[in-house]
């Protein structure tokens, strides 16, 4: 747990992003796109997930969706107030919508997604003032590490003639 009272916000984000990267590594080991997510509430992980679309044959089995479901179950509420979602890749439109709908107040992600990012890159769903909830977004935490695992995964997939 991160309970150093002198830790900066940056250090706290870096600490928890390592946990999200651990989840991404689990996806990598299962031949899934290596994206990992955790949800932190009151300094403890209440939800975690990694991409499982191939394993579950479920197009909605993104890391964020799995973590959100676990966190809601843990809190016994669909409102994930006072939570921070850490995810290694900028969320897609589906996940950004789920983040807004679950009322998560803070999102921290590692690297942008130029082909599907919905929190800064292509869309700004999480900060859209027309919606009933906006999310405070921090980008670029352990950006290089988050990019590296994705690049490595897709290089291996291309070598295998996949993806």
Residues noted as catalytic: 64
Q: Which of 36, 105, 34 is nearest to 65 (CA)?
A: 36
- Number of residues written out for the chain: 163
Q: How far is CA 27 from the centre of its chain?
A: 13
**Residue 7 CB neighbour total at 10 angstroms:** 13
Q: Which of 78, 47, 76, 77 is nearest to 63 (CA)?
A: 47
Q: Which residue has the tokens 């669909």?
A: 78
Q: Which of 22, 28, 81, 80 is nearest to 54 (CA)?
A: 28
């Amino acid at each position: 747990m991160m309970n150093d009272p002198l830790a900066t916000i940056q250090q706290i984000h870096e600490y928890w992003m390592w946990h999200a990267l651990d989840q991404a590594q689990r996806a990598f080991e299962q031949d899934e796109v290596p994206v990992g997510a955790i949800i932190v509430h009151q300094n403890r992980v209440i939800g975690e997930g990694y991409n499982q679309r191939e394993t579950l044959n479920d197009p909605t089995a993104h890391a964020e969706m799995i973590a959100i479901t676990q966190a809601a179950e843990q809190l016994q509420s669909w409102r994930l107030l006072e939570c921070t979602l850490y995810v290694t890749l900028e969320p897609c439109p589906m996940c950004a919508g789920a983040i807004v709908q679950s009322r998560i107040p803070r999102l921290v992600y590692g690297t942008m997604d130029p082909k599907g990012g919905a929190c800064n890159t292509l869309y700004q769903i999480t900060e859209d003032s027309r919606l009933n909830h906006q999310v405070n977004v921090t980008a670029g935490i352990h950006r290089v590490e988050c990019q590296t695992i994705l690049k490595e995964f897709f290089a291996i997939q291309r070598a295998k003639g996949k993806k």
